[in-house]
Amino acid sequence: MRIAYLDCFSGISGDMFLGALVDAGVPARLLEETVAALDVGARLEVSRVDRGSISAVKVDVYSRGEKDLPREQYWEQSRQSHQAHGHPQKQGPVQLLEHNYAIQEGTAPHEHEPRRGLKDIREIIGRAAIDESAKKTAIAVFQALGEAEAAIHNCDTEKIHFHEVGAVDAMVDIVCAAVGLQSLRVDEVVCSPLNVGGGTVKCAHGTFPVPAPATLELLKGAPVYSSGIDAELVTPTGAAIVKTVVKRFAPFPQMKVEKTGYGAGAREFEGQANVLRLTIGETPIASKIAVESVTVLEANLDDLNPQIFGYVMDRLLEEGALDTFVMPVQMKKNRPGLLLTVLCKSEDADKLSALIFRETTTLGVRQREEKRQALTRKWVNVSTRWGDVRMKVASMNGTVTNYAPEYEDCRRIAAEQHVALKTVMQEAIRRYLGNTD
């Protein structure tokens, strides 16, 4: 299994990702042809620089002859430009988004410059003469960016607009990232915990803590930390790329190293190389069985009305629990009771614990973190004489190991068509096996 591992010990941004791709063997010419295919008046400049005594590739985007800038430099240039042209600072969620995004990814905008919405950006990417799979990846990254900004500013995703320069820089970074990553032909992208930096960052409407709000929204569920450097190390574009292409987070995996590439950030940091490291290699086949972290919640119950249990378990699943079950236990003073166990994502633990306290009579909920191996799963629709049934299919290393009809589909059909449940389930399995011969 061929994987790409992202070492984000100094964060990640769009240009750092492109630099790492080029240094790992992606032809710079491929990225230049991608920019030309977008036809948005941009070009790339690829150079080799040193960051903390490490040789790395720096990729700069030029839009209308101007180079993209780090956020702090951009903000000062943008402020001076607005003052020079007598433009007032507009307020409101959509306007705030436009300024913030341009600051993060582009150069100083003027109020008369055209703006592009997500629909416009999707159309530009759709027209480009690049691989369809890369287009889908690029559009998914942009969609993640838009959804994060919409959540922060409480506005509809489709109403989000980007200043022309910011949109161009972001399109170049994101589309080139999708094309370059596809050219590596890796089966999976794995990522380290992300060093997000610290301190504050200036935006169009004030100073915000690092990580910036949109970045933090995009990194939900990802392991993050700060090494103490007072700088923004993970940009929104970098976070959106990670959110879209990374399949799992883990320490450096077992692999046979094939290539390594270093992408340079814009700034130098004392005592730390400001680079993103990308390692390509082969891992043992067994690593295709994904290992993931889950939170386990447990509560002992000996005085709860048994009629309530079914409702509580349904509510837990509705609120995001991965699984929930009960087992009979013998409690203190020889009282019979039940052990309620819930498996969930770490970010859902507090919400589900509160639900258990609210809906049951327990006085305490235990919590622990565990690892679990999970087979790859997918849904396959099969047609029976009574209607469609979903089949849950599990596989290991590309080989199907388990399959089962979805109970709720079969139960619904059995009730509606007055057919025995076991007959519906048997028919679904027979049709599935017939389609896979």
Name the domain boundary from 339, 374, 409: 374
Compute CA distances 336 → 105, 328, 342, 353, whole Å: 61, 7, 20, 23
Helix 28-38 and helix 14-23: axis angle, to 10°?
Answer: 140
Do 259 and 383 reside in the same domain of the chain?
Answer: no
> Are 45 and 8 in the same domain?
yes
Domain of 391: which CATH number? 3.10.20.300
Task: Encode pLDDT of 397-436 as tens digits.
Answer: 778 889 999 999 999 999 999 999 999 999 999 999 987 6
Q: Which of 328, 359, 374 is the last residue of a domain?
A: 374
Kindly indicate the confidence band of residue 203, based on its pLDDT and cuts at 50, 70 and 90: low
Question: Is the predicted pLDDT of residue 86 greater than 50, yes or no?
Answer: no
Distance CA 60, CA 69 (A): 9
Instruction: For residue range 265-280, list pLDDT tens digits in order.
Output: 999 998 899 999 999 9
Same domain for 311 and 274, yes or no, is no
Domain boundary among 334, 359, 374: 374
- 246 & 365 share domain: no
The tally of domains found in the chain comes to 3
184 and 324 belong to one structural domain = no
- 183 and 120 within one domain: yes
pTM score? 0.61
Same domain, 200 and 308: no
Q: Answer yes or no: is pLDDT of 180 > 90.
A: yes
Q: Give how far the C-alpha of residue 153 lies from the chain's centroid of Cα atoms, to the nearest Å.
A: 19
Q: What's the whole-number average pLDDT of the chain?
A: 84
Distance (Å, rounded) from C-alpha 16 to C-alpha 36? 20
Domain that holds residue 306: 290-374
**What's the pLDDT score for residue 67?**
63
Start-to-end Cα distance in the chain: 26
Q: Where are the alpha helices (DSSP H) in 319-392?
A: 349-359
pLDDT, tens digit (0-9, with 9 covering 90-100), for 303-331: 888 889 889 999 999 999 999 999 999 98
Same domain, 276 and 297: no
